[in-house]
Amino acid sequence: MVVARGHRAMCCHHALHGPPITMLGLSGGLVRGEGAGTPVTSLSMVATGRGAGILLAFLVAWLLMFAITTHAEGPELALRDQPIGSIVTYFSNKNGISPRLALKVMECESGGIQDTTSDMGLSHGIFQIQKSTWDRFTGEMGEKLDYDSPMDQAKVATWAMAHGHATEWSTFIAIMKGGKYSFYSRQLHRHFTVICKA
């Protein structure tokens, strides 16, 4: 291989005959085959001056981006082993709602037990979300989450409460009304009275 000064690097000769493919490189060097029809089998770079600076800046930017992403994902990954109260508190704070309120809704809905069901089997999980409601919320969030995961239920419920959907929980309405809420469910064709005090 012959290395000469220039602004482009040549590499990746893709056939046994013909000119090598040229592409922009970071090195500021020019790499070409040693003879007509000789395939170039490796990439040579001259990391001098400006090229080395650009490469260093790229590496620093990549490392910073990796560190920020890891820091952002870290807390949620570590949450899976935490008590459900800690999980609900984390997502309440993240979504800007009262952890005490979210925890009270969860307590009245399920007592914090994920395999709780109600509404003739339609509502499920620590926040008693129906599957059709779950699909609507996660669609608005733009995320695919696990309906059977208490952590994801906490994430979705607190997001929904923060985005104007809190009144879809009858327990939330009961809290706002001083602890009691009576209503007729057109879906289930029954009257209900919900007791839930803050």
Q: Which residues contact 167 (CB under 8 A, 6 or more apart)?
A: 173
What proportion of the chain, given as a percentage, has pLDDT over 70? 62
- H helix runs in the chain, sequence order: 49-79, 84-95, 99-110, 131-141, 150-162, 170-176
CATH class of 83-195: mainly alpha
Burial of residue 33 (number of CB atoms within 10 Å: 0-12, 13-18, 19+): middle
- Is the model's pLDDT at 62 over the cut of 60? no
Range(s) within the chain of domains with CATH label 1.10.530.10 = 83-195
Q: What's the pLDDT tens digit per position in 69-90? A: 434 456 677 888 899 999 999 9
Lowest mean per-residue pLDDT among 36-40, 85-89, 91-95: 36-40
Give the model's pLDDT for residue 75. 67
- Is the model's pLDDT at 18 over the cut of 90? no
**How many Å is the maximal CA-CA distance in the chain?**
88
CA–CA separation, 171 and 193 (whole Å): 10
Strand, helix or coil for residue 55: helix
CA–CA separation, 30 and 103 (whole Å): 64
Query: Please, what is the Cα angle at 71 between 141 and 89, to 5 degrees?
Result: 55
Q: What's the pLDDT tens digit per position in 164-176? A: 999 999 999 999 9
Give the model's pLDDT for residue 92. 98
- Is the model's pLDDT at 43 over the cut of 50? no
Give the model's pLDDT for residue 46. 39
Give the model's pLDDT for residue 24. 37
Beta bridge partners of 31: 3
Give the chain's mean pLDDT.
77
